[in-house]
Amino acid sequence: MSRSGLIDRVAGVGRAWARRRQGLDRDTVRLERRRIYILPTKQGAAFGAMVALMLVGSMNYNNSIGLVITFSLGAFGLVVMHHCHRSLNGLILELGEPEPVFAGQDARFPVRLMNDARHARLDLGVFVGRSLVDIVSLGAGEQRDIHIALPAPRRGTQKLERFAVRCRYPAGLFQTWAWLNTDLSCLVYPSPAEQTSPPPNTTPTDGHGQNAESGQEDFAGLRDYRPGDPARRIAWKAYARTNALAVKTFSGSSTAPIELRLADTKGALERRLSILTRWCLDAHALGRPFALALSDTTTETGDGRVHLNQCLRQLALYG
Partner 1 sequence: MSATARALRLGRRRAPSSDDRWYAPPLTGTGLRWTLFALVVTALPFVGDVPNWIPPIIALTVIWRYAAFVRKWPLPPAVLRMAWAVGSFFVIYYHYGTINGLEPGSALLLLMSAMKLTEATRARDLVVVVYMAFFNVVTHALFDQQILSSLYGVAALAVVVAALLQVTRRTEPVKPKRALARSANLLAQALPLTILLFLLFPRVPGPLWALPTSSKGTTGLSDSMEIGRFSELLESGATAFRARFDGALPPPAQRYWRGPVFDRIIGNVWSAAPEKPSREYNIDLLEPSYDYDLTLEASQRNWIFALDVPATPDSLPANTRLNEHLQLLADEPIKERTQYRLRAYPSYRLDAAGAALDRSRYLDVSMSENPRTERWARELRTRYTDDAELLRAVLERFSEAPFAYTLAPASLGDGSASDAFLFESREGFCEHYASSFALLMRYAGIPARIVTGYQGGERNPIGRHLTVRQSDAHAWTEVWLSERGWVRIDPTAAVSPDRVERGIQDALGAGEALPPVMLRNGPILSRLRLGWDAANAAWNRHVLSYGKASQQRLLRKLGFKTPSASTLILLLTASSGIVLGILAIALAARRRRARDPVLRAWHRVTHQLAKIGLPRARHETANRYAARVADERPDLAQELIRLASQFSRLRYSESASDKAELAWLRAAARFKPRAASRAYR
For partner 1, the binding residues in 69-108 under the rule CB under 8 A are 69-76, 78-80, 82-83, 86, 89-90
- The site that binds partner 1 (CB under 8 A) totals a number of residues, namely 63
179 φ, ψ (degrees, to nearest 5):
-95, 140
Nearer to partner 1, 147 or 233 (CB): 147
According to CB under 8 A, which one of 2, 62, 210, 243 is a site residue for partner 1? 62
CB atoms within 10 A of CB 139: 12
Determine what percent of the chain falls in helix, strand and coil, rounding each to the nearest 5: 35, 30, 35
Characterise 243 by phi-psi region: left (phi > 0), alpha (psi -120 to 50), beta (else): left
DSSP-assigned letter for residue 191: P
Residues linked to residue 94 through DSSP beta bridges, in sequence order: 28, 112
Stretch that binds partner 1, among 128-136, 202-210, 235-243, 256-264 (CB under 8 A): 128-136
Residue from 193, 197, 199 nearest 253 by CA: 199
In angstroms, give the least distance from the CB of 278 to partner 1.
Answer: 25
Taking CB under 8 A as the criterion, the residue among 31, 95, 165, 169 binding partner 1 is: 169
Q: Which residues pair with 144 in a beta bridge?
A: 113
Cα–Cα distances in angstroms (integers) from residue 317 to residues 90, 187, 250, 273, in the given order: 38, 8, 33, 10
Please identify, using beta-carbon distances, which residue of 58 and 274 lies nearer to partner 1: 58
C-beta closer to partner 1: residue 67 or 146: 67
To partner 1, the closest distance from the beta carbon of 69 in angstroms equals 5
Q: Which of 29, 31, 58, 199 binds partner 1 (CB under 8 A)?
A: 58
Closest distance to partner 1 from the beta carbon of 97 (Å): 18
User: Which stretch in 149-157, 202-210, 213-221, 261-269 sits in contact with partner 1 by CB under 8 A?
Assistant: 149-157
By C-beta, is 129 or 207 nearer to partner 1? 129
Rounded distance, CA 163 to CA 19, Å?
A: 11
User: In degrees rounded to 5, what are phi and psi of residue 189?
Assistant: -75, 155
Q: Which residues here bind partner 1, judged by CB under 8 A?
A: 43, 46-47, 50, 54, 56-76, 78-80, 82-83, 86, 89-90, 116-119, 122-123, 125, 127-132, 135, 137, 140, 150-151, 153, 158-159, 161-162, 166, 168-172
